[in-house]
Structure 1
Amino acid sequence: MKIRNPITLLLLPFLLTGCVRTTVAPLPVAESLHVSLGNPTSARADTTEADNYLILRDQYALSCNRSLGHANWVSWELSSEWLGDANRQDDFRPDPDLPTGWYRVRPDDYTGSGFDRGHLCPSASRTASESDNSATFLMCNMIPQAPQLNREAWARLEDYCRSLAVKNYRLFIVAGSYGVGGKGSKGFATSINGRVHVPGRNYKVIVAVENSGSAAQIDGETPVIAVDFPNDADLVDNKSWSSFVTTPGDIERAAGVTFFTYLPEEVRNKLREVRFDPTTTTLGYGDVRFQE
């Protein structure tokens, strides 16, 4: 899939004061379509950034953390163009794009840990081609997740996002984690195999633009969904994802990230305080289960 020019997706705002036009400093230009709304940790493709190393792929963007053994966050655009008939590739493998000398997490590092290799950018959201799907199985796109989270509420939220894409929405999504220690099927752990940090929380923030619109159409009324899950088998088992709805601002404060930095300040401030309400949303929710 060819990536469209991200510059066309960004606003170039101007402020008109009376008859005099004052130029406002232009917004940053996104490094990729997948970070059209911002780079949550100002990650850079610089080998000195060992805990905040930016990788840009055709399918998604991410900030990789050498110390943690997984991504700080993964960000991607989702529209119907990404959905097709490609089969799930299941080719989990070390990430070849990490700097020389970094440990490359292997699929078998998770074996017997009690935690799933949980996708951040979902496999089922990259089915336009086999190569797109395969890219989601690189280990930097995995996070240790309690099975009850990965296979239940997290999966249903992924399904909901795809249902919106099919309805001709364009979504801008970022998923990540923070905190120390989670509870999988074998109990509490802070790391896997001494290589991979286990986070205490997994979050996702979703901005939905109607009719496959661009980032330039986002305003303070654009629907936003922010969900912050405990990575704990007991706390998430048989729970709806709506049980964990919060605001983007709350996640920012807890995780030490900043969302929407490539949007105008007024829009950014409004979106940070949005709390999604499934009973009143204009997005609709079809067959998605909101109630326990």
Structure 2
Amino acid sequence: MFVSCSQDEDVIPKGDNLAMGNPSEAGTDFANYFIQKEQYAMSYNSYRGTPNWVSWHLSSAWLGSAPRQDDFRGDNTLPDSFYRVLPSDYTGSGFDRGHNAPSADRTLTITDNSATFLMSNMIPQAPNNNQQTWANLENYCRKLVSQGNELYIIMGQYGKGGTGSAGFKETLAGGKVTVPNRIWKVIVVLPVGTNDVSRVTSGTRVIAIDTPNSNNVSSSWGTYRTTVDAIEAKTGYDILSNVPTAIQNVLEAVEDNGPTS
């Protein structure tokens, strides 16, 4: 696992992107293929042409002034037997190339930002879901960072079929890319520190949302708050598997009611 830490206590470290656990025990299975990049970790599903989930750490150590690269491209690091999704596979579909790990969460260097534009980091996402609901939540996450926090974020999707700007579709690219029905995210909020997993307590704020992949979605992400338990029941994942079980049992049953902006 990639961990970059500074010996200078005044410098906030980049945490381990997979610190909270490997939700699906991803490995070498083509439907649950583990990919570790410096900027994020994921389980990739070669049959769906999308990630099952992507996990990343967000702190001020990852944020800088690198501009948005917009260099959408196939991921040439995938195994040769995998279909490598291309940006053009989404063209005219009515769905955005929706980032999992967001571009604006990786602005320290051009390399970091460019890594978020690999198509392996994308799902077909209804434009209003991507540009409004999801954008508002991503902006709120970065606001939490500006207030002295660091976050561990896991985003994923499940089901088949969504409604974009051109109507309902189940797949793109002749069936090579599955359009998800639901899109979820779990966010663990910690004050900046070290030994992050050990600092998760039964009082830690955990935000879980589960949205329909629809262009009729509300722009208010708070509308879609749920529990980690509910997402796990839908996906079969163990989302915070590295957190002690007793603490997981408390945190994952609670629906967040904190601020949304």
Please give the TM-score of this superposition, normalised by the length of structure 1.
0.83
Give matches, 1:176-195, under 5 Å: 176-194=156-174, 195=176
Asked if 1:202 is matched to 2:183, the reply is: yes
Offset from partner CA, 1:71-108 (integer Å, 9 cap, x none): 00000000011111000000000011211121100000
* Rg larger in structure: 1
Contact 1:79–1:212 (CA under 8 A) maintained in structure 2 = no
Offset from partner CA, 1:233-267 (integer Å, 9 cap, x none): 12x0x430000000000000012211111111101
Distance 1:200 1:150 in 2: 14
Q: CA deviation at 1:202?
A: 0.3
Equivalenced residue count is 249
Alignment partner, residue 86 of structure 2: 106
Contact 1:126–1:133 (CA under 8 A) maintained in structure 2 = yes
Q: CA deviation at 1:57?
A: 0.7
Q: Which runs of 5+ in 2 are unaligned?
A: 6-14
Q: Identify the match of residue 64 of structure 1 among 31, 35, 44.
A: 44
Percent of aligned pairs with the same residue? 47
Helix, strand or coil: the match of 1:35? coil
Q: Which runs of 5+ in 1 are unaligned?
A: 6-31, 279-283
Contact 2:39–2:56 (CA under 8 A) maintained in structure 1 = yes
Asked if 1:43 is matched to 2:37, the reply is: no
Runs of 4+ in 1 over 4 A off after TM superposition: none
- Letter of the 2:36 counterpart: L
Q: Which moved more, 1:207-216 or 1:53-62?
A: 207-216
Alignment partner, residue 127 of structure 1: 107
Q: CA deviation at 1:212?
A: 4.0
Alignment partner, residue 168 of structure 1: 148
Distance 1:231 1:260 in 2: 24
Distance 2:109 2:209 in 1: 29
Alignment partner, residue 117 of structure 1: 97
Offset from partner CA, 1:28-87 (integer Å, 9 cap, x none): xxxx8111111010001x2xx101010101100000001000100000000011111000
Asked if 1:143 is matched to 2:143, the reply is: no
- Letter of the 1:119 counterpart: H
Please give the TM-score of this superposition, normalised by the length of structure 2.
0.92
- Letter of the 2:208 counterpart: A
Distance 2:210 2:49 in 1: 21
Asked if 1:3 is matched to 2:3, the reply is: yes
Distance 1:90 1:262 in 2: 34
Q: Identify the match of residue 34 of structure 1 among 17, 33, 57.
A: 17
